[in-house]
Structure 1
Amino acid sequence: MRAVDIQNKSGMQYIHLSFSEEIEKVLKRYPCEVTSRIHSLEISLNVDGLPLFKSSSLSMWPVLCSIHLEPVIVFPVTLTLGSQRPLDLTFLEDAVTEIKQLLESGLTFDGRIIEVKLSCIVCDAPAKAMVKNTKSFSAYYGCDRCEQKGFWEGRMTYQEVDGFEVRTDHSFRAQTQPEHHKGRTPLTELPIDMAGQIPIDYMHQACLGVMKKLLTIWTRGEKGRSRQTMISIGQVDVVSARLIDLQQCIPSCFARKPRSLRHLERWKATELRQFLVYTGKLVLSGSLGSPLVLQQLPCLMCESSICLIELKRDVFKYCLYERITIMYLL
């Protein structure tokens, strides 16, 4: 047991752990033959809220770090506790100061200096807006990737695909579009690309977003379009039966087995990702016959291609794969 210094920052109870000491502790958990070959170390950061109890508003907002070695180990750098989200970004300052020093001077480990590189800062959309001190993703100027003004159509949409200004690291730091910003963020002290190294939240936008939206439209229809975008109840049952049949074929590296579309509202992000990248192309064969359903098919293909390219970076191979998949589904 050790004593820790508990402070009050950002309206929360706050504990900061020495960044370099925590990395050293983690590196010692790897075999010597692995750490002896390390000359450069990549790390990633994560900031997110964590509710502790269903019956209470008490929550934690930790700053987590992961080291890009196999297996990946995640450890806390800063811990905050309170009944609300942080009131400001002062809880990030100590972590940012230490990370900046590590990036500049490197990490002393086992009698040698290891270069440290910050790969990315990963947050979901609400947390990302908070730590970047920008408007929410649902605001008119909330887009992380461009400077166009959003259009309200039941929800905020960014419809322009040509002729808009792309948001860059320089434009973010200079705050050339003040409508996007709420103030300054400590993260600008780090030598990172504020537009490119804080990526879009894949889990919420791709899996729980686009994939779930498409499945909901196909199985329950789309508002204002009657049944034109739906597949039949019989086809839903066929797809569900195929998913259940695949349960015995799913290896243990997958966290969950496929479930029926009848339980779609309770599907987790891992199930939606599995459907998107792996099982969906098998079970949908012969079921997407409506013209409007086929119009939505490119969304699924595009999203799947991005996921696969991120996994293997073999663009030509997976573009060919998607072309064959479209022919198979039709």
Structure 2
Amino acid sequence: MPQINSCSIEDQNNMIPDDEDDGSRLNLNENISLIGIRGEIHQWALKYQIPHNALNELLHILRENSSLALKDILPADSRTLLKTSRRNNIVPIGNGEYWYYGLEQALKNALSQVRNLPSNIFLTFNIDGLPIARSTKKEFWPILCKIKGLDMSPIVVAIFFGSGKPPLEPFLRPFVDELLKLLRDGFKMQGRIISVEIRCFVCDTPARCFIKGTVGFNSYHGCMKCTVIGDFDRRGRHMSFPRTDMPLRNDNSFRNRLDPDHHKERSAIEDLPIDLVNDFTIADSLHLLDLGVMKKCLLGWTSGSFNFHTKWSARETQNISRKLMQIKSTTPYEVHQGRLRELDSLHFWKGTEFKIFLLYYGPVILKEHLPLEVYHHFLILFCATTICYSDTYSSYRHISQKLYVDYIERFAELYGQDVVAATFTTYVML
């Protein structure tokens, strides 16, 4: 019986000619490299937000003119390369359309770029209206999310597009239900459970009233922090809130509707385990101090809308503008946080310009251009704000609230009760 010589797999591999082996390895490495190119183009298109028509043109050039075998690797359409979903999940609600992407999916997409995943994350949410043009009532209402401690752009959870505001319940319900599930169970990623906590909601005043289902900020019961009842000034056609000693709102009084005139409808946000008063940030210095009181004072002094006693003449306004430019040229760069313009451009000043004037320029310049009583009144605002801004004076924070109360009360005495807006009463609640 003839003997059959058996050989090992290693021996059989050794029988392959060297040139054939090198060619197989070369083809394998080339295929791996080509597949890597497809992934790199994918990431590049997402990173720089390349439009689909431009990406389609690039794919066509690479497929037709490249010496590499890219035709079998790269698709002909950008939607295939980017794995664009064919389902858009857009549903009609109210006077528009609603697209809900999903909070969990959005978080996973964002965290996929993070090397060391955290065990728990704190989320800040923002909801606001974004008009697309002045010639139409159409606007976007996105639900955005930000992960505390991670340097990344806000995450889009959902978007409503339509005329005016979306209906509250169908707009918030999918978001609230999913958020409740994530708060309870967290979500799984890379074999581990990541817990989720709510940090706060950051919205402007109209959006904050909308998502909480309360009356507008300019209503009689519109104060978000206390139960003060507004006083409508028919001459100026605006609401003022003169009282600073009214009971504060809290989560319990809000949920139990102790002030029924403050509420319009029930919001799905009330199902979340948050403080419905303190977890909605409203005490931001930009809108309260810089674009609030400081802007109001400068406009009142230059235009005379307060009273004739505090109005600046045209010559005084020019002198103050000249002093601003002189001080600006010698201000240390640590203080100069933006371009400071003359008073004739006051309506176009940015928030940083009002901030610089309040904290640095105002105490020096205003001394010679305001009556002594009015100047001392301004110094009360300056001192209270400096205490709040500086950690050096943190032990005096309890004094700043008393100073703000004193400032509001004297403001009404100097300029009239009707000019005390909701912005002023918010200082007492800081």
Q: TM-score, normalised by structure 1?
A: 0.82
What is the 5 A alignment of 1:116-155?
A: 116-153=196-233, 154=236, 155=238
CA distance in 1, matches of 2:397, 2:224: 27
Match among 194, 197, 203 for residue 114 of structure 1: 194
- The answer for the alignment partner of 1:328 in structure 2 is none
After superposition, residues 230-309 of structure 1 pair within 5 angstroms as 230=312, 232-242=316-326, 244-245=328-329, 249=333, 256-276=338-358, 280-282=359-361, 284-289=363-368, 290-291=371-372, 292-306=374-388, 308=389
1:213 aligned residue: 296
User: Partners in 1 of 2:363 and 2:222 — Cα distance?
Assistant: 35
Moved more, 75-84 or 260-269: 260-269
Name 2:130's counterpart in structure 1.
50
Change (3 A) 1:135 1:123: same
Task: After superposition, give the CA deviation of every residue in 1:87-114 in whole Å (9 maximum; x if it has no partner).
Answer: 4342111111111111111232222112
Matched, 1:63 2:146: no
SS in 1 for 2:367: coil
Which digits, 9 at most, give the CA deviation of each residue in 1:205-229, with x for residues without a partner? 3332112112223433343x20425
- Distance in 1, matches of 2:198 and 2:126, equals 12
Partner of 1:193 in structure 2? 275
In structure 1, the partner of 2:395 is 316
- How many percent identity over aligned positions? 27
CA change 1:174–1:274 in 2 (3 A) is: same
Alpha-carbon distance in 2 for matches of 1:284, 1:104: 52
Instruction: Name 2:95's counterpart in structure 1.
Output: 11
Query: For each residue in 1:68-90, what CA deviation from the matched residue of structure 2 results, as whole angstroms up to 9, or x when unmatched?
Result: 12424301111010122224342
Give the superposition deviation at 1:158.
2.2
> Equivalent residue for 2:184?
104
Residue 274 to residue 39, structure 1, CA distance change in 2 (3 Å): farther
The aligned counterpart of 2:66 is none
Alpha-carbon distance in 2 for matches of 1:108, 1:94: 20
Counterpart in the other structure of 1:204? 287
Inter-partner Cα distance in structure 2 for 1:145 and 1:315: 23
Aligned partners of 1:204 and 1:61: how far apart in 2?
A: 21
Q: Secondary structure at the match of 2:222?
A: coil
**1:236 alignment partner, SS class:** helix
In structure 2, relative to structure 1, the CA distance for the partners of 1:248 and 1:13 (3 Å cut) is farther
Per-residue Cα deviation, 1:212-252 (whole angstroms, up to 9, x for no partner): 112223433343x2042548325422343146526893799
Checking the alignment, whether the CA contact within 8 Å between 1:11 and 1:82 is kept in structure 2 is: yes
Offset from partner CA, 1:118-155 (integer Å, 9 cap, x none): 11111111111111111111111111111121222443
- Letter of the aligned partner of 2:275 in structure 1? D
Is the Cα contact below 8 Å between 2:323 and 2:365 reproduced in 1? no
Name the stretch that deviates more: 144-153 or 17-26.
144-153
Amino acid at match of 1:261: L
The one-character-per-residue Cα deviations of 1:173-214 (angstroms, maximum 9, x if unpaired) are 111111100010010011000010012162433332112112
> What SS is found at the alignment partner of 1:113?
strand
Q: Which runs of 5+ in 1 are unaligned?
A: 322-330
Contact 1:62 1:79 in 2 (8 A): yes
- Residue 156 in structure 1 maps to residue 239 in structure 2: yes
Is the CA contact (8 Å cut-off) linking 2:216 and 2:222 kept in structure 1?
A: yes
Deviations 1:20-58 (A, max 9, x none): 11111111223x1xx34x222111111111011232222
Judged with a 3 Å threshold, the aligned counterparts in structure 2 of structure 1 residues 283 and 166 are, in CA distance, closer, same or farther, namely: closer
Matched residue SS, 1:288: helix
CA–CA distance in 1 between the matches of 2:397 and 2:254? 33
Residues 22-41 of structure 1: pairs in structure 2 closer than 5 A: 22-30=106-114, 32=115, 35-36=116-117, 38-41=118-121
- Secondary structure at the residue paired with 1:115? strand
Amino acid at match of 1:287: L
Match of residue 180 from structure 1: 262
Say which SS state the counterpart of residue 279 (structure 2) adopts. coil
Amino acid across the alignment from 1:213: K
Q: Is the 8 A contact 1:59 1:83 kept in 2?
A: yes
Question: Is the helix fraction higher in 1 or 2?
Answer: 2
Change (3 A) 1:302 1:234: same
Once structures 1 and 2 are overlaid, which stretch shifts more, 109-118 or 56-65? 109-118
Residues 145 and 236 of structure 1: is their aligned pair in 2 closer, same or farther, counting only changes over 3 Å?
same
Name which one, 1 or 2, has greater alpha-carbon Rg: 2
Q: Which of 83, 87, 91 is the equivalent residue of 2:171?
A: 91
